Structure formats: structure tokens, C-alpha cells
Amino acid sequence: SRYEREFFLNVVNGNGVISWGAVDTSRSDEGRDELIGFVTTRMIAAKDSEIEDLFRYNNSHKDLTLLYILTLGVVDSYRNLGIASSLVREVIKHAASVSNCRGVYLHVISYNQPAINFYKKMLFKLVRRLPMFYYIRGQHYDSYLFVYYVNGGRTPCSPLEIVTSFVVDFRAFLKMLVGKIWRKEEKSIPRWSRCKESTTLLTSQNNNSNNKRIIAGEDSRCHV
């Protein structure tokens, strides 16, 4: 994945980003350790996350936080050695040490099956599917949202909690769908038809000099 330079500067400078690294100390002949794995996280307010509704059963939910995993990576030659698992366990341990933190969560793109299997193996719960969450090279992709609960955090289990969660999911889906349709309709309107409409308005409003200037200005822009 590609990230902006600002992201890496924040990681190095610790600007709101908490990170852990795994190093290979066996290369003492080179006089330095080699970084072979890396995980970055950020603590956020639960109310600012996509899963805020999952914590409404808690009376103090306004003060709750979640630890969000930004990136997780291991050098190819060091994979399948338990390094990623160790890094994620450190993240979970840190989240559990923060009294008002209720979970660790992250997004996984829908086609990344190895990552999906990994987080399920680490006992993360798949709580939500976000339609068209990613937009990569002109293509929309869904996202799976995984959570590992700590300090008493849990998935809603009462009928009211489940219904509330479903309604929030459905509203989010409709909002995203309507936005996509609206953008398509805007792109499909020919530019000349808007100019033609302005000309018609100019003719029908010829008794109002103020309106005439405004609409004529719009009409002239259409022909630029």
C-alpha cells in the first residue's frame, strides 16, 4: 500500500500514532538490527468510529475509546513465523491497559482472504461489512470490519441492541448508495443542456434586469 509522507513522519514523531516493531537481532555482523515487522495504531474516541452504535448499551459510551490498527506488515522472508501474531498481541495488551478502551478494530478489504483468515484466527470478531468502502483505481470494494473486545466491550446481544445496530447499518448503506447514484446522474447531464436551460430562463425573465444579468453570466460560462 502507498501512504503519504506525512503518515510516516507521524509514525516517527509519535504524533498520535502508537507503533511496535519486530527486529532481527541475529545480524550482529552488520552492527545494526533489521526491522522485519511493523504495526501502527491510533487511539480514537468510540463515538468517532463506524462502530459507535455497538457501545450504546454502555452509559459511559461518550468517554470510551478504541485502538485502531492503521497498518500491519511483515517482511516476506519472515512471514509464517508468528511475527504478525506477536505484534497484534502487543496491540491488544496495550488496549487492555487503557481503562476506558473497549476494543481493537480495523478494516480489511473484501478480497484479502489471508488477512481475513489471520484476524479470525486471532479471535477478532467480524461485526460489519461496509459496502463500497474502498475506491482503488476506479473500482469500489467492500470492507470487513473486525473487532477484538477488551475491558468488558462486547457485541450487542439484546433484541433492542441488535435492531439498533441493523438500522444504523441499513441507513449507512442507503446514504452511500444514494450518494453514488447522485454523482452518476450529475456526470450524465450534458453541459449544453444546462446552457440551453439558462437561455430559456433568460427569455422568461426578461422583465427583471437583475435576474437577466445573473442568468446571462451563467449562460456565458457555459460556452467557455
How confident is the model at residue 196, as a pLDDT?
A: 41
pTM of this structure: 0.65
Q: Are 128 and 155 in contact (CB under 8 A)?
A: no
Instruction: Indicate the pLDDT class of residue 52, thresholds 50, 70 and 90.
Output: confident
Per 3-state DSSP, the chain is made up of helix, strand and coil in percentages (nearest 5) of 50, 25, 25
For residue 220, pLDDT over 80 is answered with: no
For residue 96, pLDDT over 70 is answered with: yes
For residue 151, pLDDT over 60 is answered with: yes
DSSP H helices in the chain: 5-13, 83-97, 113-121, 159-188, 191-204, 209-222
Per-residue pLDDT tens digits for 11-21: 556 667 899 99
Pair type for strands 34-45 and 18-24 = antiparallel
Could you give the domains of the chain? Answer: 5-188 (3.40.630.30), 191-222 (no CATH)
Judged by average pLDDT, the poorest of 62-71, 92-101, 190-199, 211-220 is 211-220
- Count of CB atoms situated within 10 Å of the CB of 111: 10
How confident is the model at residue 183, as a pLDDT?
A: 65
- Of all residues in the chain, what percent carry a pLDDT higher than 90? 46
Instruction: Indicate the pLDDT class of residue 212, thresholds 50, 70 and 90.
Output: very low
For residue 205, pLDDT over 90 is answered with: no
Across all residues in the chain, what is the average pLDDT?
Answer: 76
Distance CA 147, CA 155 (A): 9
Torsion of CA 45, 19, 121, 110, to 10 degrees: 70
For residue 180, pLDDT over 60 is answered with: yes
Distance CA 82, CA 59 (A): 38
